[in-house]
Structure 1
Amino acid sequence: MLRDLFSKKKKYATIPSEQAKQEVPEGLMTKCPQCKSIMYTKELKKNLSVCDSCGFHHRLTAYDRMDTLFDEGTFIEFDQNIIAKDPLNFPSYKQKSEKDRENTGLNEAIVTGKGKIDGYPAVVGVMDARFRMGSMGSVVGEKINRAIERAIEEDLPFIMFAASGGARMQEGVFSLMQMAKTSTALHKLRDHGGLFVSIMTHPTTGGVSASFASLGDINLAEPKALIGFAGRRIIEQTIRQELPEDFQTAEFLLKHGQLDKVVERKNLKATLKTILSIHAPAEESEMNQEAAEEPAFKAEEQEVK
């Protein structure tokens, strides 16, 4: 018995060879950070980057978000080539920004433009957390301001997708000024009678949550999105109380009246269409209704023939 015990071969973990590693393409699989399930990246993207197992909403890039939102061929981008300066000569800021431009294909942490959602035109801004964690610097604030001005000029609704770590520390007070700048622009839009729909995604924090993101005529959010100003630990240390487990989640904010609705990504386009149709001019709403009913009418006509 002792001889058998010592004669057993030891099992060692095998290390994949470099050739074996190369046979598995990078990015083929994605692991869900919430339920830890592993899925094909292509399948995940087909499901709008929402986990089939637990419903976790993975982050979307700005252009992927546009693809899920706008009618094909209708999106026109604004102010694509504006690039931030380095007003404080902050160490490594230029180099890090250049690296983000290379990695993301974006010049800044936001994409703005206009397009149609099921036939209803709107101006939109979409933040991208891959660029400096979606932080709001002078260019982000300026692009939001210009987009709002276009919405006023063309009498269009303004839709904003927030995804940000807050104000951009490398620009100091210049970034903080964008809170007032964007809020003032939205006040002008409201005075003009325009509609502002704010959609908060994961995460929406800091100066962004404390300014334009919370000023929507209608405030929506994606499920389980982190939304808040200061971090949980800082708040607990300040008030010397333990916070609820779901504190600063979209569901918590909905329960306490800060949001109008938490909307799953698969239902977001339909929800926005409903909102835009309710607020659209009567003539435009009738035209879109006729366009939607036209195929059904033609089909009935063919059956009669």
Structure 2
Amino acid sequence: MANPKSAELVIDASLVRRLIATQFPRWSDLEVRPIEPGGWDNRSFRLGEQMTVRLPSAEHYVLQVEKEHRWLPRLAPQLPLPIPVPLAKGTPGEGFPWPWSVYRWLQGETLAVERVADLGQVAKDLTRFLRALRQADAASGPLPGDHNFHRGGPPAFYDEQTRQALPLLEGQVDTVAAREVWEAALAAPFEGTPVWFHGDIAWGNLLVAQGRLSAVIDFGTSGVGDPACDLAIAWTFFHGESREVFRHGMALDRGAWARGRGWTLWKALIVLAGMTGAPASEKAKQRTVIEDVLADHRRFG
């Protein structure tokens, strides 16, 4: 949950203008306007035509600022698609209590079915990116922890939450099958070499241009560990042939897919159970995600 004080913060274009004017006056004449849809972990604003300003929306996202500034410049040359480029790091001020960032603007729109020419090609491009990310130099990279809500660690970190959600959803989803999927995830420990993962591969963090995947953004939950958490998009976005293209292209073993289903199931269950404060429209989507995860387990588990 957010820090109670953070809930009182008003993060708007006026605040961003004041921060820019006091800390980066060379950019003070540039227009500031909010980016829609707004983020959950951060609030983002367009700064002129070439930059983006991102401010953490709550205290528990603050650790991500330093991580991105340190690691994104090192990862970028190793990846086949553009990722955010930090240009400046702001400090607390103007009533805003945490560090914040200015990034280079990346062209593109967030991923949507109607914005791509070939969903299978998007799946291929994404697997190419994620394989390259897994191959990036992981020496001294950030291990799973508070900075990324333990993505890349064992899904067992969320065992208590998952088991709390299941009884709340009796009669809404097949909780017997869901427990089976969860137990399968816990029974498939990661035994490989820790690698880089993104941690939140979702439609809102993938940009497309001219019908193709053009950039990957928001590395706040990234780290070095088990890449299984990057499989969630198989059920949250891809379907049919594109899901199979993604599955084949990721080239991960059966245990990784069991953990990937576990990560996806955990998030869908707690959202549907009303444990995250997500809007009703988001809850509705999770039933389909859960059904797809359960069907995938019956087929491949």
What TM-score results when the alignment is normalised by the length of structure 1? Answer: 0.26
Structure showing greater radius of gyration is: 1
**Could you say which structure has the higher helix fraction?**
2
TM-score, scaled relative to structure 2:
0.26
Relative CO higher for 1 or 2, CA cutoff 8 Å, sep ≥ 6?
A: 2
